[in-house]
Amino acid sequence: MRVAGLIRVVVFIFTIVTMWVFLRSYTNFSRKTIRLPRWLGITSKDIQTPKSKCGLSKICPNNFFAFKISSGAANVVGPSMCFEDEIIMSPVRNNVGRGLNIALVNGSTGQVMKKDSFDMYSGDPQLLMNFLTEIPDGTLVLVASYDDPGTKMNDKIKMLFSSLGSSYAKQLGFRDSWVFVGANDLKSRSPYEQFLKNNPETNKYDGWPELLELEGCVPRKVM
């Protein structure tokens, strides 16, 4: 009986020790970093997760441009535009103004061609009409409102923006918020547009609706 009892004790101790060794080995393994073989010539530091442009939530596919546009917030914070990871218009760059802020980008190369702001409260609307009628073929048009984009908006300007693919230009009025990406040779309505009406009952700010953000991947115009 004593021998049998001794055998049971030995078996029990052996089982406990075996389990302890296994658990310790497994824990140590799970804490280790798996490294690639040195003969591959690549270290773990060389492997990096691709970064999206303009802070987008996804990476744009080939032959697409990344963009992100924010309208102004009331008459306090100006709008901003990012295109292919470059801030092309913003308060920091000191190149935005009250009204409509517009950037023209080559639809094939992604090169920024021109950018300007147009005072739509007390400015001359003819300046904006001239700007829009001179847009070259194959050009992307990025637009962001700030403060008041609609007081000097006439039917001619609304028609020009509509021809660029806008669905809301004809509704644009006093202190509305608007962000838009269109093209001068677009044959349908642009899917890149947001609009918010100035409404005292729903405005986020005192006298203005909240700012709008628009981001996405716009297809490159392949020549």
Residue 9 lies inside a defined structural domain of this protein: no
Q: What is the pLDDT of residue 156?
A: 97
Banded model confidence at residue 186, pLDDT cuts 50, 70, 90: confident
pTM of the model: 0.77
SS3 state at 69: strand
Distance CA 216, CA 214 (A): 7
User: Is residue 44 assigned to a domain?
Assistant: no
Q: Answer whether residue 184 shows pLDDT above 70.
A: yes
Strand (E) or helix (H) holding 82: strand 80-83
pLDDT digits (tens, 9 = 90+) for 85-108: 999 999 999 999 999 999 999 999
pLDDT at 27: 46
Mean pLDDT of 192-218: 95
Whether 66 is in a domain gets the answer: yes
Q: Is residue 14 included in any domain, yes or no?
A: no
Beta carbons of 70 and 144 less than 8 angstroms apart: yes
187 in a structural domain: yes
Domain that holds residue 80: 53-219
CA distance linking residue 143 with residue 194, whole number of Å: 11
Residue 122: closest CA among 141, 99, 145: 99
d(CA 64, CA 35): 34
Mean pLDDT over the full length of the chain: 86
Q: How many percent of the chain have pLDDT more than 90?
A: 72
121 within domain boundaries:
yes
Q: What pLDDT sits at residue 135?
A: 96
Cα 75 from Cα 223, distance rounded (Å): 41
In a domain, 61, yes or no: yes
> Model confidence at 45, in pLDDT bands (50, 70, 90)?
low
Q: What is the pLDDT of residues 145-164, one digit of tens each?
A: 999 999 999 999 999 999 99
Q: Once rounded to an integer, what is the mean pLDDT over residues 178-194?
A: 93
Counted domains in the chain: 1
pLDDT at 218: 96
What would the pLDDT profile of 9-42 be if each residue is shown by its tens digit?
A: 555 666 666 666 555 554 444 433 444 445 445 5
pLDDT score for 185? 81
4-13, 119-128, 158-167: the lowest-pLDDT one: 4-13
Whether residue 43 is contained in a domain is answered as: no
